[in-house]
Amino acid sequence: VRGLSKELDQGKTVYEAELLIQGKSKDMLIDETGAVIETEEQVALNSLPAAVRTALRKAAGKGRITLVEAVSKNGALAFYEAHVNTRGKVTEIKVSPDGQPL
């Protein structure tokens, strides 16, 4: 466990657990009932479907992809999020599970 926090999300109390599992980050957002409502799990770029890799690389342009996370909401994969470093500026890009830009 790397960290625990209590936050307000759209007016509701949620808890975030930041974990490190076998060297990869995993963040979990949990509601007041204990239900996991969102997870962000670090994944390797080369493990993603080809359409997703292509879309992320295209969106990153000349930037370097430094981290990719699979984001699930209510137990289902919602999108992939990549952190991109372009000349020292870090931005995030998101694509759907089939590689469509979001």
Residue 9 pLDDT > 90: no
Mean pLDDT of 75-93: 96
Residue 98: partners with Cβ closer than 8 Å, 6 or more residues away: 49, 51, 52
Compute how many other C-beta atoms are within 10 angstroms of the C-beta atom of residue 68.
Answer: 23
Task: Give pTM, 2 decimals.
Answer: 0.89
Distance of alpha carbon 23 from alpha carbon 53, whole angstroms: 22
Radius of gyration of the chain (CA): 15
Three-state DSSP state, 92? strand
Average per-residue pLDDT for the chain: 96
Residue 4 pLDDT level (bands cut at 50, 70, 90): very high
